[in-house]
Structure 1
Amino acid sequence: MEVAEVLPEFADAFAFAEFNRMQREALPALLESEANVVASAPTASGKTALAELAICKTLADGGTALFIAPMRALTNEKEDDWDRFEALDYSVYVVTGERDLNPRRARHADILVMTPEKLDSATRKHDSRRYDFVTDIDVCVIDEVHLLDADRRGSVLEVTISRLRRLCEPRIVALSATMPNVDDVAAWLDAPEEATFEFGEEYRPVELNAGVRTYTHGDNAFADKYRRLYRALDLAEPHLREDGQSLVFVSSRQDTVRAAEKARDEIAERDIPMGARGDYDFHTEAQELENDTLRNSVLDGVAFHHAGLSKNDRDLVEEWFKAGHVELLFSTSTLAWGVNLPARCVVIRDTKLHDPLEGEVDMSPLDVLQMLGRAGRPGYDDVGYGWVVCDTAEADKYRRLLRDGKEIESRLAETLETHLNAEIAMGTITDLEDVMDWLETTFYYVRGQSKPEEYDFPNLRQRVRDCLEGLVDRGFVAMGESGDLSIEATPRGVLASKYYLRLETAATFAALCDQANESDALGPDDLLEAVASAAEFDSVSARQDERDAISAVLVGQETGDLEAGQRKVLAILRGAASGSVPPELRSDAWVIRQNATRLLSALGAFLDRLADPHAANLARRVEARVENGVAEDAVGLTAIDGVGPGRASKLSKEGLSTPGDVVGAGVTGLVEAGLSEGVAEGVYEGAQSLPAVELEWGAFPEAIGAGENDVCEVTVRNVGEPARAGIRVTVNGVEMTSASTYLRDTETVPVGVFGADADTLEFRVSVAFPEEPLVPLEEQRTVDVV
C-alpha cells in the first residue's frame, strides 16, 4: 500500500513510500473514523507514521494538531523532521518556555509540539489571551503514552490530557511501546475496541534477543564505571568484528565522552579492526565537526552523542552511524526516545543516573525497554541483541522486566494535592462532588477499578476529603461558610498553580511574604535562601569533591539551617549572580539555574500579590542577576531588549550602569562605549521603552518648629513608558505611606512634616517597578526640628 495512493496530497510528508504491515492495519481506524485510537507496538516498528496519519487527516479537514513529545530535547527534533509539512505550506510550531512563546505563531500554527509539562502549564492558563490557543485543538497525539508510569511526569501527562479533553474535546491518538495493559489506557481515553491495537513482538521488524549480564560491584563508583564499560565492550566485540554496529547507553553527557575515549584505547589494545583513518573523504568530512574530541574519535569508528552537542555535530554523528562509518556509539537515553538509530547490538552500561535535582536514581523501566528496543537494524539484521549490565543484586529485577514487560500504573496518587489545587484554582472544581467527577476522568480511576485494593479505592472518598482539608489547613483553599463543602482557591493556591510550584514551596514563599509585611528587612540573601530550600531542590546532593567549592562561595554567610544539598544550590545561585560559578559545581549548575530563575519569578509574583511592589522588585532584580550574572548596580541594564550579560558588562565598565545612563549617552555615546552603530540604535530605543522616574519635592521645608506640622507634596513624574510602580515614603526609617499605582505621567504623594522629638527628620521617597529589574529610584530630604 503506497502512501501516494492513500494520501496523495500528503505523500511528501512521509519519509517512506510504502506503509508497513502494522501501519496498514491501523490505517482505517486513523483515516476512516473520528474515534480515539490507542496503539501499542514494539520500538522501531513505525509508530511515528501513525501519528503522522492522524495529523494528516486533521490538516485535510482544516483542523489543528497537537503532538505531545515525551521530553524537551525531542520537540526541536520533531520541528526539524516535520519540515516536510512546512514544504506543504503547513506551519509547525514548538511551544517552549514562557518568555520564548510567540502567542500569535502558536495561534496560527497547524501543528503544535509540546511536552506534557508545557501543556499542563498552558492549559492552566487557557483563559488568558496568551494561551487561548490550547482550547482550539482538533487532534492530540500522545507519543509514548506509557510515560504515564513515570515518576512525577506521569501524573502531569495524566491530568493534562483529562483537562484538555474537558476544554476542547479533541480526538486523542495515543501511541506506546509494548505494554501489557493497553486496554486500561483505551478505557481511559474512550477508544473503542476496533480502534485499540496491541501489536506484539511479531510486528518488530527485527527479532530481539535481550538479556542481563552482571559485573562485580566494588567500593569505588569511578572504577565500577570502567568495570561496566569493559563488560559492555565484551558484549559488543563479536559484532564489531563482524562489521556490526553497537550502541552503548550511559548515564550522562560527560560519561559518553569519557567512555568513548577509554573505548578507543581498549579497541586498539584488543586489535579490533575498526575505523576509517585511511578514508580521505571521510577524514575531510570529519573536519566539519565542532567538537575536537569527537573529531579525533570518529576516525577510529567511535563516537558519542548527547543533547549538549551542537546540532551540526549530532546530525553528522547520526548520518555517519547510519552509513556505517561510526561502528561504536556512546549515547545518553535521549537517543532512545528520539532518533530512529538502530544497531545490531545495544548495551545499557548504566542503570542508575545522576539527576541534578534528584541525586542518584534508577533508570526508569520505560527507558530501559525503550533503549533495548533500538537493537536490530531493519533490512540488515535478522536478530538484534540487547543487554542490560547491572549489579548481581539487581539482575532478577531486570530479567523480570525483560520477560514480563511493565504494566502502566497511574502516579496521580503521589501528587494528588498539587493537581487538585490546580483544578480548584482554575475554577473547574467547586465542591466534593466535582472532585469525584474530575477523578473519574483520570487514568487513576480506571486503574483503580482494575486494582481496587492496591489503589485503596474503597476509601477513595475519605482520601479526597482528607486531601481537601489538608489544602484548607495549609491556606491554599477556602471552604464555603455554609458548611456545604463548597471550595475556592485562595491567592496562595492560585499562585501555586499558575507558577507550577510544589505546595511546600508555595507555603515557604507565602511565609516570606508575611516576613516582608512584618518588617522591611528582606535582602537578596533571604530570597536566594528561600529558593535554595525549595522542595523542587529537595533531592539535590552535594558530592564530597564539591564541598570545598561550596564553602568558598558561601564564606561569611550564615547558612546553619541549610542542608548540604541546599547549600550547594545556594552556592550555585550566588556564583551565577556574580557571573562566576566554580568549575566544581558547573555540571549541575545549568539545570539548577534554570529551575531557580523560574522559582524566583514565582517568588516575585508572591511578593507582588501578598507583600508589596518593592519586595517584588527585589525578587525581579535577583532573578535577573542569577539569569545574567551581572553586578547589582548594573542589573537594570538587562531590562533593555537586546542587552544580555556581555553587553551589560561592557556598558557598565564604561560607566553606563542604568537605562537612564544609556538614554543620556545616546547612540553616539553607546558607539563610543564599544557597541556597533546598529546595535547601539536598538539598545537606545530599548532603553527609551522603559519607565524613567523623576522626583519633584516642591516647597519642602528645611526646618520645622517642635510641635508644628506641615503637609507637603512630592510629585513622582514618569518621563518614560507607563508601568506599574510602588511608591514608598519613610521618615527616619519608618514607613509613612506607600502606594501601588499604574504610573502613566505624574502621581502626587502627600508627605506630612511633623516637628517631633528627634533633632532631624530624614524623609526618603523610593519608587520601584515590580515587573522590571530596575534599581529603585531613591531620594531623601533632611528637615531640622528647631
Structure 2
Amino acid sequence: MVSSSSQKNFRSLLSTFRSPSYKPAKTPEENDEFEGTPTKKAYRGDSLLPNFEEFQRQPQIPNAEIDVLDDDIPLDAFDKELLSQLGHDATELTVPMYEQKVIPQPEPFSTPLHRGRSSKFGSSNTLITPPFRPLASSSSDFESPPSPSLTVEGISRGRLHGLDVHKSPHWPPARDITPPVTFSPFQRRAVVKSPEIQLKHAPPIIQGIRLVSTRELPDRFRTLFSFPLFNAIQSKTFPVIYHRADNVVLSAPTGSGKTVIMELAICKLVSDLKDSHFKVVYLAPTKSLCSERFRDWRAKFAPLDLKCAELTGDTDHFQIRNVQQASIIITTPEKWDSMTRKWKDHMKLMQLIKLVLIDEVHILKEARGAILEAVISRMKSVNSNVRFVALSATVPNSEDIASWLGKDPTNQHLPAHRERFGEEFRPVTLQKFVYGYQANGNDFAFDKVCETKLPEVLAKHSSKKPILVFCCTRNSAIATSKNLAKLWSSTNPSQRLWKSPTKPIHVQNADLSGIVSTGVAFHHAGLDSADRHTIETSFLNGQINVICCTSTLAVGVNLPCHLVVIKNTVSWQDGGCKEYADLEMMQMLGRAGRPQFDDSAVGVIITRKERVGHYEKLVSGSDPLESCLHLNLIDHLNAEIGLGTVTDIESAIRWLRGTFFFVRLQRNPTYYKLKEGGNRADEEELLRQTCEKDLELLQENDLVTANPPFKSTELGDAMARYYVKFETMKLFLSLPQKAKMSEILSVIAQADEFRDIRLKPGEKSLYKEINKASGIKFPIKTDINLSAHKITLLIQSELGAVELPSGEQFQKHRLSFQQDKSLVFSHINRIIRCIIDCQLAHGDSVSARHALELSRSLGAKAWDDSVLQLKQIDQIGIVAVRKFASAGITNMEQLEAAEPIRIETILSRNPPFGMKLLTRVAEFPKPRVSLKEVGKDIKPGKIPRVKFKADIGFVNEKPPLYFQKRQVYVCFLAEISDGRIIDFRRFQ
C-alpha cells in the first residue's frame, strides 16, 4: 500500500494527462531557448500560461517532498481506468517520496534574470513570497500596489513551457475572454522548511492578486474554460461570484474578461440547484451583442445540457417557443420589458428566473437606459428570489448601482458586493487622445474637416502598426479609404506609414479592388460577404494594414489593431446624423490592443471642439451615471399600474424608491431639479409631485381609473401591451368616429416612435415623384414638406410596390430610402394592433374594420385588394406578379386553380416549378366563415333580437398554425349598420 501523500502526487499526475495543454517538457539540454531570456513574454488568458504542472513533473532537487493542491480529490473512474491501462492497482501504487519542499516564486523586478548558478528555471537565490491582498472584503475599489506590475519581460511569445502559441486552438482569444497579460518568469527555489503552508506550484501574483486556478472548479465546469488560471479581475471576484449568492456589481475596463464572471455565476447556479428547473436572463443593449453571446454560449454550455434562446426584436414565433425550453434567455432590455409587461401571461416562466446578468449596465445614462432601469426594478419587485450580476465599463459611481440592486432579496437595504478595477487592469495599456476642431457647417461638412486631419493623426500615433478608422457613413468609409490610398501612393516608400501587401488580394468590389494593393480597404454591412471575409482575413494576417469602416465592425468579428481612430463622433442613424452612444464609442475604442503582439495601444477621437470635454470624461471614466427614468416616467408608470405594482400614490412612491433614479436623486439632487441641500422631505415631495402629475395625465386620457385602487383601462392595457409611447397614444385617441383608412394611416405617420425620421431638403423631389405613382392609394394633396408626409409615402410605397424613380438625383437616395422604410416597418405592426384595440374599446366598428383591413395589408406588405397579394408566396416577386396579372391571374384563388403547366408557361420556367409553386399556395391560410340563424325574439314595442351561430375555420386540409414563420390568427368582427360593434373575437 502507498501513503496518502503518494496518492496525492499520482492524482495530480493524472490531472496533467487530462489537460489538453499538457506536453512532456524538454530537458535543459533539449531546450532550444533558455527560459530566462529577458526579451520574451508569458501570456495569460484563454490560451497560454506558464504550465505550473511542470513543477510537479520535473523535480530538480533529488529527495524533495512535493505538496499538492488537490488533496481532497478522490480517485475517480477515470483515474482507476488509467491505472488499469498502466498495469497498476488503484490501491497499490509506489511513488518515490521526497524530503525537501520546493516552492516556485516570482522573480522580483529588481533581480537580474541571470545571476548565480543557472538551472532550467533560472538562478538558485531564495526569494520571499510577495504579500497579496485578502479576498474577503464585501466591497473594494481595487488599486494596484506601487511596485511595477503590468509589463514585465519574461518567457518566449512563441514557446511557453512546451506549449506552442501559434498552434493553440484558442489563440487569439475571442472577445471578452481574458486577454493575455505579461508577468515575470517563475523560477524554482529550494527553501528551508518552515511551519507555513507550502504550495507545490503557487499561482502567480498579478497586481497584488493571487490568481485562482480553474482547478478550483469541479471537472464539469472546468472544461468550460480553456485556460488554467483566471486573470486578476476574475480571481479577485471569484470568491463572491462562485462561493456566495450575493448580488454583484463589477466595474472594469473593456476587454478585461468580464464575460467569464457571468459564466461563473451560471456555474454557481447550476451547482446550487442541480436538477431543479431554472432560467437565466442575459440582458445586453444591442442585438449584435446578443447574437454574439448566443453563438458563444450555445456551444459552451451544451455539455451542461443548458439550452440557449435568443429573444430580440428580430425573434420569430419559433424562437419564442424555444424560450419555454431554454435555460438561458439572451435578450435586450426593450424585448424583456415588453415580455415582463405581460408578467401575468408568463407567470410560470418568470417564477423560474433565478439569475439576471446585466451586460453594459452603464447604458443607464442613455435615453434607452430608462427601459433597463424600469425592467430591473420590476424584476426586483415581482420576483423575490433573483440574483443580479451587473457588469459595466469603468465608471466613478458604481456604488450607486450596488445600492440600487441591494445585497440580496432579503437585504435590499444593504448594497450589492462591488468590485471596481481601474485602467491598470487592461491587458494592453490604452492611451486615449481627444482632438477637437472648429465646425462651421453641418455634420457632413465637418466630416471633410476630420478627413484633412487624419494623416497627421496617423503619422503621430500609428507606429507603422495596424489601424482601424471608424467613419460616420458607408460613403465616408469608402472616400476615406481612397484618400488614404492616394496618400500612400504619393509618399516616398521610406516614409510610408504602413506596408503594402506581399501577395495579391482578390475582391469583387471595383472600388475595393482599386485600393487594396496599397494595404488599405473599407468595410461596411453593405459590402458583399465574400469581400468582407477577404478583408477581415487579410487584416488578421497582415496583408491589409488600414481598414476604414462603420461602427458595425465594433462588435462581432474580432479585428484587434494598434490604433483606433474615430473620425467624427456622429453616425447615420434613423434617417439622420446623431452622436454615437457612449457604449458604441467604448466598443470602438476597445478594438485597440493586440495582446499577442503589443503591450500598448492608442485610441483617438476626432470631434467638434465643443464636445471635447464630454469625451474626455468618457474615456477617463469620470462621468457619473445618471438616470433617465424621469424623462419618460409616464410610460413606465402606466405599465406598473397594469401589473398591479402601483395602486395608489403611496405605492407609486414606493416603486420609485426602488429605482436607480431615486438613488441618484439623493446623491445629485440639482441634476433632477431639486435644490441643493434638500432634505428627505424635499425628496418625498418631489416624488409625490412627479407621481401625481403623471397619474393625472393618465386619468385625463382615460388610461387609468379615476380613483384608487388605480387600474388600467382597456386603453391603458393596450398602451402597455403594445409598447406604445404616451404621446403616440394621445394621437390614437384623437381619431374621429368612423375614421377612414387614410385618416388612420395619417395618425400612424405622426407617431412619436418615428420622430427621428426627418424629411431632408434633398429628398423633397424624390417623394413628390413617388407621390405620383399608381401604387400610392392615398396621395398627398398638399405640398410635401412634413416628416409625416414622408412616412405615409414610405408605407404606401411598400404596399404598392412602388420602385424608386430612375435618374441619378433619385437613385442616390436608395440606401436611406430602404433604411427609413425598414425602421418604419419595425414598429408598424404593434402600432396598428394598438389602434385596433383602441377602436374596439370605443365600440367604433367602422374605424376598427378599416384598421383591421390596413393591418392585413401591412402584414402582407401589399394592398389587400390588389394583385400584389401574390407576393406573399415564396419565389413570386414583382416581375412574376406583373406576368400573372397580364395572364388574368389576380388573386390567390385564381392562382390555386391554375394548372402547373400554365404557371410554367406564364413565368417561362421548367417543370416541376409549377407543381412546387402550387404546393406553397396550398399552404397559404384560407379562412372560411358561415352564419346560421338559431333563434329570434320579435315582439311589438320591443327591439327585435336575433341569435346567430358563426362557424369559423379554414379551407386548408390542415389548419395552418404558422405561415412564413409568423403565427396565424383570425379576427371575427360583427357590426350593425349604424357603426356599433356586436361582437369581436381573435382566434389562434
Give the shorter-chain TM-score range: 0.7 to 0.9
1:139 aligns with 2:352: no
Distance 1:125 1:254 in 2: 43
| Equivalent position SS for 2:591 | coil
Distance 2:706 2:946 in 1: 46
Q: Is the 8 A contact 1:23 1:49 kept in 2?
A: yes
Q: Deviations over 1:142-178 (max 9, x none)?
A: 1100011111x10000011111233333211100000
Q: Deviations over 1:363-387 (max 9, x none)?
A: 3344334433433322322322121
1:95, distance to aligned residue in structure 2 (A): 0.7
1:269 aligns with 2:516: no
Distance 1:306 1:395 in 2: 27
Distance 1:651 1:499 in 2: 38
Equivalent residue number for residue 554 of structure 2: 336
| 1:475 partner letter | D
Q: Is the 8 A contact 2:481 2:522 kept in 1?
A: yes
Q: Is the 8 A contact 2:646 2:652 kept in 1?
A: yes
Runs of 5+ unmatched residues, structure 1: 698-709, 743-769, 773-786
Equivalent residue number for residue 380 of structure 2: 165
Equivalent residue number for residue 477 of structure 2: 256
Residue 464 to residue 316, structure 1, CA distance change in 2 (3 Å): farther
Q: Is the 8 A contact 2:900 2:915 kept in 1?
A: no
1:399, distance to aligned residue in structure 2 (A): 3.3
Equivalent residue number for residue 214 of structure 1: 436
Equivalent residue number for residue 91 of structure 1: 307
Equivalent residue number for residue 410 of structure 1: 627
Equivalent residue number for residue 68 of structure 1: 283
TM-score, reference length from structure 1: 0.81
Q: Is the 8 A contact 1:641 1:686 kept in 2?
A: no
For residue 726 of structure 1, the aligned residue among 965, 973, 984 is 973
1:345, distance to aligned residue in structure 2 (A): 1.2
Distance 1:526 1:461 in 2: 39
| Equivalent position SS for 1:596 | helix
Residue 593 to residue 177, structure 1, CA distance change in 2 (3 Å): same
What's the RMSD between the two structures over aligned residues?
3.7
Residue 714 to residue 43, structure 1, CA distance change in 2 (3 Å): closer
Q: Deviations over 1:437-472 (max 9, x none)?
A: 211221111111212343333522122112211211
1:692 aligns with 2:692: no
For residue 920 of structure 2, the aligned residue among 666, 683, 694 is 683
1:738, distance to aligned residue in structure 2 (A): 5.7
1:503 aligns with 2:720: no
Distance 2:752 2:799 in 1: 21
| Equivalent position SS for 1:127 | helix
Equivalent residue number for residue 592 of structure 1: 824
| 2:709 partner letter | S
1:103, distance to aligned residue in structure 2 (A): 3.2
1:196 aligns with 2:436: no
Q: Is the 8 A contact 1:45 1:204 kept in 2?
A: yes
| 1:740 partner letter | D
Q: Is the 8 A contact 1:576 1:627 kept in 2?
A: no
Name whichever of 85-94 and 441-450 sits farther off: 85-94
Equivalent residue number for residue 265 of structure 2: 54
1:671, distance to aligned residue in structure 2 (A): 6.6
| 2:364 partner letter | L
For residue 234 of structure 1, the aligned residue among 429, 432, 456 is 456
Equivalent residue number for residue 854 of structure 2: 622
| 1:324 partner letter | G
Equivalent residue number for residue 171 of structure 2: none
| 2:611 partner letter | E
Equivalent residue number for residue 490 of structure 1: 713
Residue 653 to residue 136, structure 1, CA distance change in 2 (3 Å): farther
Residue 273 to residue 567, structure 1, CA distance change in 2 (3 Å): same
Distance 2:984 2:687 in 1: 47
Residue 461 to residue 369, structure 1, CA distance change in 2 (3 Å): same
| Equivalent position SS for 1:209 | strand
| Equivalent position SS for 1:217 | coil
Superposition map of 1:384-403 within 5 A: 384-403=601-620
1:549, distance to aligned residue in structure 2 (A): 1.1
| Equivalent position SS for 2:669 | coil
1:106, distance to aligned residue in structure 2 (A): 0.5
Equivalent residue number for residue 778 of structure 1: none
Residue 353 to residue 611, structure 1, CA distance change in 2 (3 Å): farther
Name whichever of 581-590 and 410-419 sits farther off: 581-590
1:415, distance to aligned residue in structure 2 (A): 0.7
For residue 693 of structure 2, the aligned residue among 454, 466, 483 is 466
| 2:519 partner letter | G
Distance 1:715 1:666 in 2: 37
Runs of 5+ unmatched residues, structure 2: 1-211, 408-413, 675-682, 773-777, 805-810, 934-943, 960-969
| 2:503 partner letter | D
1:694, distance to aligned residue in structure 2 (A): 6.4
Distance 1:601 1:294 in 2: 45
Residue 486 to residue 716, structure 1, CA distance change in 2 (3 Å): closer
Q: Is the 8 A contact 2:617 2:623 kept in 1?
A: no
| 2:615 partner letter | Y
Equivalent residue number for residue 120 of structure 1: 337
Equivalent residue number for residue 531 of structure 1: 748
Q: Deviations over 1:334-360 (max 9, x none)?
A: 443555543211111121233326x44
Distance 1:653 1:424 in 2: 56
Distance 2:945 2:329 in 1: 59
For residue 800 of structure 2, the aligned residue among 578, 583, 602 is 578
| 1:28 partner letter | P
| 1:20 partner letter | N
1:657, distance to aligned residue in structure 2 (A): 4.0
For residue 835 of structure 2, the aligned residue among 603, 606, 612 is 603
Distance 2:267 2:861 in 1: 46
Distance 2:729 2:519 in 1: 51
- Structure with higher helix content: 1
Q: Is the 8 A contact 1:67 1:111 kept in 2?
A: yes
Equivalent residue number for residue 236 of structure 2: 25
TM-score, reference length from structure 2: 0.65
1:276, distance to aligned residue in structure 2 (A): 5.5
Equivalent residue number for residue 568 of structure 2: 350
| Equivalent position SS for 1:172 | strand
1:719, distance to aligned residue in structure 2 (A): 6.4
Distance 2:983 2:796 in 1: 30
Equivalent residue number for residue 326 of structure 1: 544
Distance 2:740 2:552 in 1: 42
1:695, distance to aligned residue in structure 2 (A): 8.2
Count of aligned pairs between the two proteins: 709
| Equivalent position SS for 2:802 | coil
Residue 165 to residue 693, structure 1, CA distance change in 2 (3 Å): same
Equivalent residue number for residue 705 of structure 2: 478
| Equivalent position SS for 1:488 | coil
Name whichever of 559-568 and 28-37 sits farther off: 559-568
Residue 616 to residue 511, structure 1, CA distance change in 2 (3 Å): same
Residue 336 to residue 718, structure 1, CA distance change in 2 (3 Å): closer
1:102, distance to aligned residue in structure 2 (A): 3.1
Q: Which has the larger radius of gyration?
A: 2
| Equivalent position SS for 2:923 | helix
Equivalent residue number for residue 663 of structure 2: 446
1:568 aligns with 2:790: yes
Residue 185 to residue 569, structure 1, CA distance change in 2 (3 Å): same
Residue 686 to residue 79, structure 1, CA distance change in 2 (3 Å): same
Q: Deviations over 1:51-91 (max 9, x none)?
A: 22222333444532221111112222222223432542432
Distance 1:528 1:92 in 2: 39
Distance 1:440 1:635 in 2: 57
Equivalent residue number for residue 704 of structure 1: none
For residue 431 of structure 1, the aligned residue among 636, 639, 648 is 648
Q: Deviations over 1:628-673 (max 9, x none)?
A: 5434424794797868866877766654444444554487876776
1:578, distance to aligned residue in structure 2 (A): 1.6
Residue 444 to residue 648, structure 1, CA distance change in 2 (3 Å): farther
